[in-house]
C-alpha cells in the first residue's frame, strides 16, 4: 500500500513539473530563437527602427506603439462602462436586474473573439467609416471599441467581486449614520475594494494586449506609426500572425521571437503585479 501511495504522489508531482516546464519552455524557446537576431543587431535598434524589410530595417516600434495604443484606448472605453455595470450589479440594483446583468456578463465570457472580429468587420467598420469619413474605417478606434467589449466581462466580474467582499457591518454603519449611497461608495467601498479594482484593470489590460483576432481583423494592420485614433495600426500579436508565412531563415521571421518575448514579458509583469496586489492582507 505505501508503494502505491508513493507512486501516486510522484506521478502527481511529475505532472505538476511537466505543466510548469511548459511555462519555462515557452520562455526558453523565445529567448533561444531570438538570440541569433540580437547578435546581429542591437536590441535598441530593433525596438526603435521602422519596419521596412526592403530597406533592411526590421524595427518593431510601430507594433509596440500600436499594441499599447489599442490596449490603452480599449481600457479607457471599457473602464467606466465596467465600473458602471459593477455598481449596477452590487450597489444600485443588487436584486433582480443586477442578477440578470451578471448572468449576461458571465455569458459574454463565452463569446469567441473571432465573433467580435467578424461582426467588427461587417458592422462596426462600415459605421466608423461613415461617421468619420476617414480612411477605410479599419482603425485604432474600431479595434478598441470591440476590444473594450471583449475585456469588459473580466473587469466587471472582478469589480463586482471586490465590491461584494466589503464587510456588511461597515455598510450597515454608513446606513446607521444616515449616509447616502454615494458617500457609502466613496468613503467605504472604494477604499476597501481598490486593490481588486486595480487587479481587474491590470488583468484586462493584459487580455487586451494579448488578443490577436480583433486587432488583426479590424485595426487595418498598417506598419506606420499611428498619429490619431482614426489611423490604422498593427499590434505585436497581429504582426506575428501576418509574418508567420515568411521564410524560416529570414530576419523577418526571426524578429517574431522578439515580438513574442516582448508580449511574454509585458503580460508576465501584469500577472506578477496582479498577484502582488492580491496577496497583501486586506
Residues 197-256 touching another protein, rule: CB under 8 A, are: 203, 206, 209-213, 217, 237, 240-241, 244, 248, 256
Neighbours of 63 (CB within 10 A): 23
Residue closer to another protein (CB basis): 57 or 268:
268
46 in contact with another protein (CB under 8 A): no
93 in contact with another protein (CB under 8 A): yes
Residue closer to another protein (CB basis): 137 or 206:
206
**Which of 49, 121, 171, 277 touches another protein by CB under 8 A?**
121
Q: How far apart are CA 276 and CA 200, in angstroms?
A: 13
119 in contact with another protein (CB under 8 A): yes
92 in contact with another protein (CB under 8 A): yes
Instruction: Name residues contacting another protein, limited to 181-200 (CB under 8 A).
Output: 181-183, 185
Residue closer to another protein (CB basis): 181 or 228:
181
157 in contact with another protein (CB under 8 A): no
Q: CB of residue 17 vs another protein: minimum separation in angstroms?
A: 9
∠ CA 130-131-136, rounded to 5°: 50
* Beta-bridge partners for 233: 220
> Which residues touch 66 (CB under 8 Å, ≥6 apart)?
140, 215, 219, 226, 233, 234, 235, 236
Q: CB of residue 74 vs another protein: minimum separation in angstroms?
A: 13
Q: How far apart are CA 34 and CA 28, in angstroms?
A: 10
Q: Is 244 within 8 Å of 51 (Cβ atoms)? A: no
Residue closer to another protein (CB basis): 23 or 228:
23
Q: CB of residue 210 vs another protein: minimum separation in angstroms?
A: 3
**Which of 91, 189, 193, 258 touches another protein by CB under 8 A?**
91
Q: How far apart are CA 160 and CA 69, in angstroms?
A: 27
Q: CB of residue 55 vs another protein: minimum separation in angstroms?
A: 25
263 in contact with another protein (CB under 8 A): yes
> Which residues touch 168 (CB under 8 Å, ≥6 apart)?
none
Nearest to 230 by CA among 136, 147, 146: 136
Q: How far apart are CA 137 and CA 160, in angstroms?
A: 34
**Which of 180, 187, 191, 225 touches another protein by CB under 8 A?**
180
33 in contact with another protein (CB under 8 A): yes
CA 79 to chain centre: 13
Amino acid at each position: 500500500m505505501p508503494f502505491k501511495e508513493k507512486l501516486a504522489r510522484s506521478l502527481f508531482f511529475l505532472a505538476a513539473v511537466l505543466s510548469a516546464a511548459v511555462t519555462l519552455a515557452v520562455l526558453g524557446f523565445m529567448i533561444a530563437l531570438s538570440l541569433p537576431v540580437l547578435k546581429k543587431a542591437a536590441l535598441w535598434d530593433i525596438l526603435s527602427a521602422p519596419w521596412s524589410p526592403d530597406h533592411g530595417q526590421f524595427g518593431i516600434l510601430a507594433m509596440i506603439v500600436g499594441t499599447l495604443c489599442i490596449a490603452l484606448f480599449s481600457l479607457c472605453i471599457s473602464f467606466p462602462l465596467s465600473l458602471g455595470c459593477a455598481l449596477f450589479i452590487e450597489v444600485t440594483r443588487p436584486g433582480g436586474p443586477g442578477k440578470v446583468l451578471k448572468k449576461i456578463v458571465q455569458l459574454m465570457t463565452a463569446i469567441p473573439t473571432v465573433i467580435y472580429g467578424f461582426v467588427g468587420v461587417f458592422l462596426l467598420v462600415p459605421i466608423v467609416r461613415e461617421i468619420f469619413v476617414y480612411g477605410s474605417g479599419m482603425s485604432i478606434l474600431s479595434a478598441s471599441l470591440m476590444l473594450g467589449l471583449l475585456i469588459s466581462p473580466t473587469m466587471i466580474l472582478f469589480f463586482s467581486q471586490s465590491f461584494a467582499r466589503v464587510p456588511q457591518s461597515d455598510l450597515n454603519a454608513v446606513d446607521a449614520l444616515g449616509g447616502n449611497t454615494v458617500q457609502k461608495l466613496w468613503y467605504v467601498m472604494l477604499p476597501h475594494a481598490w486593490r481588486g479594482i486595480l487587479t481587474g484593470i491590470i488583468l484586462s489590460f493584459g487580455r487586451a494586449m494579448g488578443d490577436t483576432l480583433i486587432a488583426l481583423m479590424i485595426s487595418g494592420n498598417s506598419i506606420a506609426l499611428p498619429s490619431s485614433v482614426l489611423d490604422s495600426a498593427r499590434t505585436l500579436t497581429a504582426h506575428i500572425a501576418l509574418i508567420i508565412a515568411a521564410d524560416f531563415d529570414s530576419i523577418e521571421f526571426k524578429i517574431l521571437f522578439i515580438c513574442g518575448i516582448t508580449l511574454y514579458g509585458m503580460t508576465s509583469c501584469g500577472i506578477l503585479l496582479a498577484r502582488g496586489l492580491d496577496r497583501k492582507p486586506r
